[in-house]
Structure 1
């Protein structure tokens, strides 16, 4: 069956967004615009500081820089379009545009989810093998892990998007969401989707349970190693560094797990729409706050910028 036949009569989708009231949409527009700009500014600042300050040129901040870039990419994939739809009379998105948004948003999200495992491994090596940290986590290995997580994220997102967008969409074409996300778009397909939903669920379980299991295993070893540290200040510093990572992991995985791993019988587009805001809008905003407020090195680099105009 050709792509044209798969699309049937639907050549575009209508994204309902959050409200049909123009006054409410204007308020939402300014609220989300502020959140978007704050997210871009916060993550952009972290990327800038890490690039400029030579003291931050180590694996931990290399992965943090990638995380900030992913957060900026994620919100830019969805929020600008949402802002346009809040003010425009038309809320349509082409079939190809929906396909592209679903793929890119999914790829960046999967990349980020797998990156958290790499960041947990980084903390594991730093705390359990501090004297061999730079030897074990060489720059070559860091680049290979970053490239591997990127390739894995984009490949798995391609599978997820292909399974969803190859379905026949005969109408209606109204998506009760502010973005093209798999479950909400798939609910419009005019055929039985149970098999595809099962395959998608298996992929989702693998991509949530496996990373979380590896993260938990890493932190069990980390906690055991921290408890052996005799210095109180040393234990506090180790716990503080790990706490930042754990907070962003929870902020990311908790809502994503709810959306993608619950039974299809309990699917609710209204609930999904609200929950997705956490990992799409609020998590990218909170990540730089968590790391900057709890991280001494980031705060020192920022102070250097304010005082000297450079952080070399």
Structure 2
């Protein structure tokens, strides 16, 4: 038996229920992991609300956690019981005491990195890796715009940009979040509640604007993001925290300077163990060196049974950086 958070219908945080499940032994290519810390990500709210639909109901939630391998499937050779590991692309169900995960989705965790650091950083860090290193390879001294800079992904992006010697302009919703982003390495911040984003980007770049915008907000910032781009610039839309971008007239890309747009996801960049190893090695190196700090405030660590409150806090935009469930 294992306890897990489960949903039987879509809705608000109230649909999250703590239940007991009979967990089967791992399949041939799976490992069973005793979770020590579980990552909470905004995408989890999409599955809960119905924006993204689980394959079937009832369903578990969450795809990211760190812990210890307790059992291995018959075909698994790269992992063994007792290994410290982290994963971020599992089937839904990581909000659980134990979870069966495809072994190719699991990375060995260096001793220098704690379970809490790993669960707080893995999905978000792999996301920043594909954004800044693959979707568009940000160069030293390059200026670019990154929305929600004080969120979990954003704070890692601020630190990664600083490590690359690049200049990240981050949008934030308060003076406190501006301070947090600047302390994490943002070159400049824009308070979207008080400032015009496109106008401020133009001022910060002496009218040159930027070659790339990374936007996880979606509907509310779509057009402002396009207005921040140079001719033939790239709009990277990788999230929907304000709602999805829909009904787009593609002619707007022509009108605003023959722009490019992409809607990437981690699953398009990490498709096998080799790609996972490449991205996780760079992320772990930056965490171990101290270039990226992912320590989680105590008030953003929730017991597994308190998943409802964790989601309420996340959706209120009252969090800074990453949040965790602790089984």
TM-score (norm 1): 0.24
Structure with larger Rg: 1
Give the structure-2-normalised TM-score. 0.23
Comparing both structures, which one devotes a greater share of its residues to helix? 1
